[in-house]
Structure 1
């Protein structure tokens, strides 16, 4: 890294030093000199190049971390963050709505839509008998053109007659369900765990088989009861969960 290419701070300016340092670092990121995944120079190097104190640099780095441009890894350093989906407190929304709300261009690739028999877990989630027909819709979900997750939704066949013939390649599944069947979700239960990406999902997500992933199980209900259960495998480096805890 050529330090002459870095902006420097000017103590004659009324602008705070930490803000000038933040702008200098951010410019390098936005110019592509430090692409996503790159480890930026250590704090002492940044102090030397910018001519500011460690406190000033830490203030700048904290601000850049708070707007998701950087991430700190304990014992390793500070890295330019990959574009990621941050899931925090939210209402009951579809993936499409959730992505749009955080400014990502939503994309989806329909992998399959078919009728399959419900296994024991799906039957229990939907309140049907094992072996009953369900509609399975499998999609690759994208944010700004990059793969984020693989979602497999299972819906009660008796609630969505004819769905299998519909074009579900575009738009929100919940919008289709409301338009076609008057189904409006009112509550969902989600369970998160960390697990390895299987070979098929890993290939779709562009990661190595066995890479850590968020496994998200969701059961969604409307006024008549559970109508959908979804299993999502989300890229661990592009999906986060953030909660705010208050006393």
Structure 2
């Protein structure tokens, strides 16, 4: 219980109690905290005290509020090195987390001018399109779209499932020797549909990661576009003075 005789304000005491509960793993990342009413009853304090304590922890990104759902323990942001080409599945596995994919759509589409230029395709050449939701453990992390030639990679749509990573499929079934990738990162604001899919709030920041991957001989392999939750991922870029080139596109 909180000490009403202490000079320390009750909301600070309650904040410390919640921090201790997190250290003791009574609440894990992604868990929902008791409601304001339940916390008031548990600690015998006013709703104002509870709200101030929760707000303090929210401002420090320890907790996060989901409108209409409650207050949840924040999931720590992951740092991804853009130099690595292993994909989310192998990256999350390497840091001790599970990853799986939920296939939302897969179909053949005619290539437009952009895809023809990006992937060196003929006009209207069919491409495989895959849209999938990538999870870290049980929490949505990214909405991923992949475009790849159906002629160069036959049966791709039949082979891609929620149980196999995209790069494992390329390596194991198509024996592709991957070379460099070109990545472009921008920031977007989640709309209502994207927020619903990614379990975030409309208006939250998302990374838009657009990547073209090439084989060692310079042939384009695929183009992908990913919307990644900005509160869950940070990207690092390694540079070398001798051969690093920065290209800045200014959006007017």
TM-score interval, smaller chain: 0.5 to 0.7
Q: Could you say which residue in structure 2 is the equivalent of 1:208?
A: 201
CA displacement, residues 11-56 of structure 1 (integer Å, 9 cap, x when unaligned): xxxxxxxxxxxxx997442335787699xxxxxxxxxxxxxxxxxx
Instruction: Give unmatched runs, 5+ long, in structure 1.
Output: 5-23, 39-71
State the distance in 2 between where 1:145 and 1:124 align. Answer: 37
Q: How many residues align?
A: 193
1:109 partnered with 2:102: yes
After alignment, is 132-141 or 205-214 more displaced? 205-214
Q: Is the 8 A contact 1:215 1:234 kept in 2?
A: yes
Which residue among 23, 26, 30 is the counterpart of 1:30?
23
Which residue among 144, 150, 153 is the counterpart of 1:160?
153
State the distance in 2 between where 1:210 and 1:117 align. Answer: 32
Q: Could you say which residue in structure 2 is the equivalent of 1:135?
A: 128
State the distance in 1 between where 2:18 and 2:203 align. Answer: 34
Q: Shift of residue 244 of structure 1?
A: 6.6
Q: Shift of residue 3 of structure 1?
A: 6.9
Q: Could you say which residue in structure 2 is the equivalent of 1:149?
A: 142
What secondary structure is seen at the aligned counterpart in 1 of 2:132? strand
What secondary structure is seen at the aligned counterpart in 1 of 2:96? coil
Q: Could you say which residue in structure 2 is the equivalent of 1:79?
A: 61
Q: Shift of residue 160 of structure 1?
A: 0.7
The normalised TM-score by structure 2 is 0.66
What secondary structure is seen at the aligned counterpart in 2 of 1:122? helix
Superposition CA RMSD, Å: 3.2
State the distance in 2 between where 1:199 and 1:130 align. Answer: 34
The normalised TM-score by structure 1 is 0.67
Aligned residue runs from structure 1 range 231-242, under 5 A: 231-242=225-236
What secondary structure is seen at the aligned counterpart in 1 of 2:61? strand
Q: Is the 8 A contact 1:85 1:99 kept in 2?
A: no
Q: Could you say which residue in structure 1 is the equivalent of 2:113?
A: 120
Q: Shift of residue 221 of structure 1?
A: 0.9
What secondary structure is seen at the aligned counterpart in 1 of 2:141? strand
Summarize the Cα distance change of 1:3–1:219 in structure 2 as closer, same or farther, 3 Å threshold: farther
Instruction: Give unmatched runs, 5+ long, in structure 2.
Output: 5-16, 33-55, 63-73, 242-252
Summarize the Cα distance change of 1:209–1:27 in structure 2 as closer, same or farther, 3 Å threshold: closer
Summarize the Cα distance change of 1:239–1:168 in structure 2 as closer, same or farther, 3 Å threshold: same
Summarize the Cα distance change of 1:200–1:159 in structure 2 as closer, same or farther, 3 Å threshold: farther
Q: Is the 8 A contact 1:113 1:164 kept in 2?
A: yes
Summarize the Cα distance change of 1:89–1:122 in structure 2 as closer, same or farther, 3 Å threshold: closer
Q: Is the 8 A contact 1:108 1:170 kept in 2?
A: yes
